[in-house]
Chain A
Amino acid sequence: MPATDTTHHRGVRPGMLKVTGLQKIYNGGPAPVEAVRDLTFELAEGELVCLVGPSGCGKTTLLKCIAGLMAPTSGTVELAGEPVLSPPPGMAVVFQEYGRSLFAWMSVRANVELPLKEKKLPRARREELVAESLEAVGLTAFADAYPWQLSGGMQQRVAIARAIAYEPQVLLMDEPFAAVDAQTRADLEDLVRSIWQRLGVTVLFVTHDIDEAVYLGERVLVLSNSPTVVQDDVTVDLPVERDQLTTRQDERFTRLRAHVYAQIQQAKKGTAPTAA
Chain B
Amino acid sequence: MSTAAVPPAPAPRGARRPGARVRTAPNRPVLGSAGVLALLLLWEAVPRLGAVPERHFPPASEVLATLAERAGTTPFWEAVGHTLFGWALGLAIAFAAAVLLGFALGSAPRVRAFTTSTVDFLRPIPSVALIPLAVLMYGTDIRSTLLLVVYACFWLIYIQVLYGVADVDPVAEQTALSYGLGRLARIRHVVWPTTLPYLMTGLRLAASVGLILSITAQLIIGSPGIGQQITAAQQGGAVALVYAWIVATGVLGVVINLGVRALEHRVLRWHTSVRGESAA
Interface residues of A (CB under 8 A from B): 64, 67-69, 87, 89, 91-93, 95, 97, 100-101, 103-106, 114-115, 118-119, 146, 148-149, 162, 166
Q: Are B189 and A114 in contact (CB under 8 A)?
A: yes
Residue of B nearest to A145 (CB): B279
CB distance from A158 to the nearest CB of B (A): 12
Whether A115 pairs with B180 at a CB distance below 8 angstroms is yes
Cα A69 to Cα B175 with chains together (Å): 10
Contact A148–B270 (Cβ < 8 Å): yes
- B270 partner, pick from A87, A93, A104, beta carbons under 8 A: A104
B180–A95 touching, CB < 8 Å: no
Q: Which residues of B contact A91 (CB under 8 A)?
A: 178
B10 interface residue, CB < 8 Å from A? no
Further 18 A-B residue pairs, CB within 8 A, beyond A87-B178, A103-B190, A114-B181: A67-B174, A67-B178, A68-B178, A69-B174, A69-B178, A89-B180, A95-B171, A103-B172, A103-B193, A104-B193, A114-B189, A115-B180, A118-B179, A119-B180, A146-B270, A146-B275, A162-B179, A166-B179
Give the contacting residue for B175; candidates A64, A101, A149; CB below 8 A. Answer: A101
The contact sample of 14 A-B pairs, CB cut-off 8 A, is A69-B177, A91-B178, A92-B178, A95-B175, A101-B171, A101-B175, A103-B193, A104-B193, A104-B270, A115-B179, A118-B181, A146-B279, A149-B279, A149-B280
B180/A101 in contact, CB under 8 A: no
Interfacial chain B residues near A106, Cβ < 8 Å: 189, 270
| Distance A100 CA – B177 CA, assembled complex (angstroms) | 14
Task: Decide: B178 and A97 in contact? CB cutoff 8 A.
Answer: no
Q: Does B185 belong to the interface (CB within 8 Å)?
A: yes
Interface: B56 (CB within 8 A): no
Could you say which residues of chain B place their CB within 8 Å of the CB of A114? 179, 181, 189
Q: Which residue of A lies closest to B186 (CB)?
A: A118
Residue of B nearest to A119 (CB): B180
**Total A-B Cβ pairs within 8 A:** 63
Closest to A146 in B: B270
Q: Which residue of A lies closest to B169 (CB)?
A: A100
The interface residues of chain A lying within 8 Å CB-to-CB of B72 are none
Question: In the complex, how many residues of chain B place their beta carbon closer than 8 angstroms to a beta carbon of chain A?
Answer: 21
B271 interface neighbour in A69, A87, A104, A118, Cβ under 8 Å: A104
Chain B residues with Cβ below 8 Å from A148 are 270, 275, 279
Q: Is the CB of B172 within 8 A of A100?
A: yes
Taking the closest CB of chain A, its distance from the CB of B31, in whole angstroms, is 32
B182 interface residue, CB < 8 Å from A?
yes
Q: Which of B171, B181, B270 contacts A105 (CB 8 A)?
A: B270
List of 7 A-B pairs having minimum Cβ-Cβ separation, nearest first: A115-B179, A100-B171, A105-B193, A93-B178, A87-B178, A101-B175, A105-B270
The answer to whether A87 and B279 touch across the interface, beta carbons within 8 angstroms, is: no
Specify the chain B residue showing the minimal Cβ separation from A88. Answer: B180
Which residues from B are CB-within-8-Å of A68? 178
Establish whether residues B180 and A87, one from each chain, have CB atoms under 8 Å apart when the complex forms. yes
The interface residues of chain B lying within 8 Å CB-to-CB of A92 are 178-179
- Which of B174, B185, B189, B196 is close to A95, meaning CB atoms less than 8 Å apart? B174
Chain B residues in 8 Å Cβ range of A69: 174, 177-178
Residues of A within 8 A of B174 (CB): 64, 67, 69, 93, 95
A162 contact set on B, CB distance < 8 A: 179
Residues of A within 8 A of B193 (CB): 103-105
